[in-house]
Chain A
Amino acid sequence: MTDPPDRPSRRGSDAASSEAEFSEFVVARSPQLYRSAYLLAGTRHGAEDLVQTALARAYAAWWRVRAADDPVAYVHGVLLKGFLSERRRRSSTELPVATTPDTQHPDAAHHDPDPADRAALLAALAELAPVDRAVVVLRFWEDRSVAQTARDLDLTEAAVKNRSLRALRTLRGLLAEPSHPRNGSPR
């Protein structure tokens, strides 16, 4: 397949290159971004919003992303900050409410090999404070080191370890229960 022609009068080769790079980046990286966002946000809507926001900011300053030492980590960082910022903003204006794992989404059964596991995991993660949730996702989903996680979240390494320990214990307790109430999220 040949690339469609560009409009010479509107865009140069650099423009085409940047657009193509962005597309390739999205195709290659959006699955991992989306899954991380899903764990953080707990819903498809929330995950989409987080990823779209991060990608929009990457697109708006693509030259900066491509110049970064690690463009992938850079965009993950944008996503993470977006999540924490959004949670801070919401926590000041909203009452904590239960998250709604996507067990009722019409496509859920089709796409999910084990909806119960996913629902339980997302509900348990929703019980964690946002920073603790971020620690869990970075450490145990994205395989970041304690030092990297501390740097990304502007925490000390001791704080990361403490939060990891606390979060894992909480999750272990929650996931061991047959079902647990989801009527609030700690802040």
Chain B
Amino acid sequence: MTDPMLADDDRDLRLLMEASLRDVHVPTDRLERVARLRGRTLRRRRRVGSALGGLAAAAAVVAVVGSGQGGTASVDGGVATEPSAAAPSPGRGAGTEQPPGIWDMPVREMERRAQPLLPPGVTLSEVQRRNLDHAPGESDRVVGVLRGVLTREGRPGRGALEVMLVPTPTRTAAAPDAGPSSIPTPGTATPSRAAGGEPDGEPGGEPGGEPGGEPGRVRGADDGVPYVAGLIGCPPGNLDPAAGATVVDCTELSDEAGTHVGRVLTTRTGSITQVESYVLTDDGAGLVYVATASTTDAKWSASSTPSADRALLDAAEVAALARSASWASWTPATEQD
């Protein structure tokens, strides 16, 4: 019950809030996309932590196996506690569990594979091998995420590097009355679930890089086609950089057979330049995400502190790193860190 003496104030405040926020643009699609990426990272960390909890006898062995920072700047903030800090048990969250895959690659293995893929003169250091922000019951082991600092001979400054290996996102159901997707599907006009009325899509529009409207094919495309296309395509309506970011360039990537497999996107937010690339693995089951920025801050935004005048890797170099077959050549069944 509102204090009577405040009745006018709180009513006025409520009206002001409603008027001020009525037409705020809500980036629903981006919120969901990033939440899924960050959520998968959290879930992997918890799954491993829960599993380790039942293997106390093996703790000493496990301790030397993995370590690392579980978060990434743009996809994992490492933030607050939840209403309940209890870690979910493996299996109970089966609805969102993933099978083993490259996303289980330990950070040390990722670092070992990344080093030779970097251009000459580029050094990766300060790799975060331990998760210092883990919740109770979570492991400090990190898999699927590599985060460190780049330096380059002859180039002043430093920049962040992130590599993330994730299962290919899928959208398995649609809201029946939700309308067309905000993410155009390369080569198809198939609508998918709506993104809360976001205005930045061009449903059914001709995909960029597909002159004449010749349908393209997304490698490994099946259930997640529209969503995956949103991550790897470059049509104008598909570019959805973080709020306030300016797109400098976007290039779609194809394999030797001409199959569309990824994109590399350069954006600028304030004084921060970011280059990121998504590339599908050959089997389409996974995505390799590589990003670098002209800051070493944990989070990249207009308020980040620049640590270089531009990103330490250019678009071609980021794309090459993301496209390397080295990532997909690792299998959890036969290789361990």
Contact = CB atoms under 8 A, between A and B. Distances in A.
Interface string A85-127: 1100000000000000000011100011110011001100000
A73 to B, nearest CB: 9
A184 interface: no
Interface in B148-164: none
B31 A45 contact: no
A171 B13 contact: yes
A26 B26 CA distance: 11
Q: What 4 pairs between A and B have smallest CB-CB spacing?
A: A18-B95, A59-B39, A20-B173, A85-B80
B174 A1 contact: yes
Interface residues of B, dominant DSSP: loop
A31 B95 contact: no
Contact of A44 (B36, B77, B243): B243
Given A18-B95, A30-B31, A107-B25, A3 B42 contact: no
A165 B25 CA distance: 31
Interface in B76-113: 76-77, 79-84, 88, 92-99
A24 B175 contact: yes
B195 interface: yes
B95 A62 contact: yes
A171 to B, nearest CB: 6
Interface residues of B, number: 79
Contact of A60 (B43, B94, B242): B43
A35 to B, nearest CB: 5
Given A30-B31, A140-B10, A11 B170 contact: yes
A8 to B, nearest CB: 10
Main SS of chain A's interface residues?
A: helix
A1 B191 contact: yes
A156 interface: no
Contacts of B36: 22, 56, 59
B163 to A, nearest CB: 19
A63 B88 contact: yes
A15 B20 contact: no
Interface stretch (B124-132, B260-268, B295-303): B295-303
Contacts, number: 240
A27 B172 contact: no
A34 B26 contact: yes
Contact of B39 (A15, A35, A55, A64): A55
Contacts of A164: 3, 6, 10
B96 A27 contact: no
Given A59-B39, A140-B10, A39 B21 contact: yes
B13 A114 contact: no
Nearest to B30: A48
Given A63-B95, A78-B82, A112 B10 contact: no
Contact of B223 (A6, A17, A113, A145): A6
Given A26-B35, A82-B80, A15 B244 contact: no
A97 B270 CA distance: 17
A72 interface: no
B38 interface: yes
B173 A45 contact: no
A57 B82 contact: yes
A70 to B, nearest CB: 11
B134 interface: no
B223 A7 contact: yes
A181 interface: no
Contacts of A64: 84, 88
A19 B36 CA distance: 10
Question: Which of A1, A107, A113 has the most B CB atoms < 10 Å from its CB?
Answer: A1
A12 interface: yes
16 contacts: A12-B94, A15-B97, A15-B172, A19-B95, A55-B31, A58-B35, A60-B88, A64-B88, A74-B83, A78-B83, A81-B80, A117-B19, A121-B20, A122-B20, A140-B17, A161-B3
Contacts of A134: none
Nearest to B28: A30
A166 B179 CA distance: 45
Contacts of B22: 113
B32 A26 contact: yes
Contacts of B1: 145-146
B9 interface: yes
Contact of B77 (A49, A77, A136, A141): A49
Given A6-B170, A16-B172, 16 more contacts: A3-B172, A14-B95, A17-B173, A22-B96, A23-B32, A24-B175, A27-B178, A34-B24, A48-B243, A55-B39, A111-B23, A112-B24, A117-B20, A136-B13, A139-B10, A164-B6
B258 interface: no
A45 B241 CA distance: 12
Contacts of B21: 35, 38-39, 118
